[in-house]
Amino acid sequence: MYKAKAFAAASPTDALAGTLIPRRNAMETDVQIEILFCGVCHSDLHTARDEWHSIMPTTYPCVPGHEIIGRVTNIGAKVDKFKVGDVVGVGCLVDSDHSCPNCQHGFDQFCPDAVFTYNSVDKHGTAPVTYGGYSDSVVVEQNAVLRIPSNLDLAGAAPLLCAGITTYSPLKRNGVGPGKKVGIVGLGGLGHMGVKLAHAMGAHVVVFTTSPSKRDDALKLGADEVVLSTDENQMASHMNSFDMILDCVSAKHDLNSYINLLHRGGNMTLVGVPEKPAELNAFCLIYGNKSLSGSMIGGFAETQEMLDFCGKHSITADVEVIAIQQINEAYERMLKSQVKYRFSIDMASLKNG
């Protein structure tokens, strides 16, 4: 065991602050990684503040961060997939059993033994729960480590590990491509990746935003149209027209007005996880045989597939690089929907305290 530097929340109401955490020494199939960048996901904030208490209570101290890019500094004796010096990624999952039906079908995230990057029981017993990427290093089993295409900017590639896969997976599952009309609701970290990916897949992309100031950015990111969701006339002009709508919103909002925009048989997928439950009007779904579904990140193989897709299309997140000491201010700006469009922490800043 060794001590790593990290930023942690000590309670739901405490600001994140510098601390030392235990990390296990690399075992036979482990990869030790010096963390270079870590994206800031809204799930980090939900977890640090225990907003999902009823489903997934937070154990403190809580070290968030599951959009990790780093360099391999040490490998266990049986590691055959990576070597010291490789640039690698770690997303929301650090382990699974690789043998259950979910793992065998590529859905490692639903493995009964899945270990999430933070706030998940640490089966090695190094600490009560796993600690995430707001840290100078991490030790991860090699099967949970991803390859990063060499043409991608590292600060911008970090958010692919969660925001990228979380949007890529449902877009792909729903056959998004040429001839399809796709709505992306909420232009935040997930939403802006959804726009870039759906555009690269060849779909007609419509962004729904509550922020009029994001209109020009949405078009530059790849949207074909932008709808101010607070404007009833703009919403009505898209009635019954979408093949799919991907909802990336972090706070409670009306779902029914979006379901009404799907055409017959259309699908709305929720990836946003607001603290409070939504109200659903069954009429909106039954009229037109529409479906509402959810999607949670993606398995290891699909995450690698998404990274390779991003390498091929030169896609990274639009990031504002921050020092770890700015994390609490960054959370406040994220709550005000003021991030353009993902914070990426330069982990070298952790050396300063």
Residues that bind Zn ion (CB under 5 A): 41, 43, 162
Is the Cα torsion angle 12, 15, 16, 19 positive or negative in sign? negative
The reply on whether position 271 binds ligand NAP by CB under 6 A is yes
Nearer to ligand NAP, 211 or 241 (CB): 211
Please identify which residue in the block is written with the tokens 């990426």.
344
The reply on whether position 234 binds ligand NAP by CB under 6 A is no
The reply on whether position 49 binds ligand NAP by CB under 6 A is no
What is the Cα–Cα distance from 103 to 107, expressed in whole angstroms?
Answer: 5
What is the Cα–Cα distance from 111 to 64, expressed in whole angstroms?
Answer: 21
The DSSP-derived string for 56-122 is SPPPSSB-----EEEEEEEE-TT--S--TT-EEEE-SEEE--S-SHHHHTT-GGG-TT-EESSSSB-
Nearer to ligand NAP, 186 or 266 (CB): 186
Nearest distance from C-beta of residue 161 to Zn ion, angstroms: 8
Binding test (CB under 6 A) with ligand NAP, winner from 10, 100, 127, 273 = 273
The reply on whether position 272 binds ligand NAP by CB under 6 A is yes
- The stretch near ligand NAP (CB under 6 A) out of 4-12, 55-63, 172-180, 268-276 is 268-276
Binding mask 280-309 for ligand NAP (x = CB under 6 A): ---------------xxx------------
What is the Cα–Cα distance from 226 to 54, expressed in whole angstroms?
Answer: 35
The reply on whether position 198 binds ligand NAP by CB under 6 A is no
- The stretch near ligand NAP (CB under 6 A) out of 11-19, 173-181, 233-241, 269-277 is 269-277
CB 5 within 8 A of CB 136: yes
Per-residue tokens: 35: 């963390």
Binding test (CB under 6 A) with ligand NAP, winner from 5, 46, 199, 238 = 46
CB 46 within 8 A of CB 80: no
In the complex, which residues of this chain contact ligand NAP (CB under 6 A)?
A: 41-43, 46, 162, 166, 186-191, 209-211, 214, 248-251, 253, 271-273, 295-297, 334, 337, 339
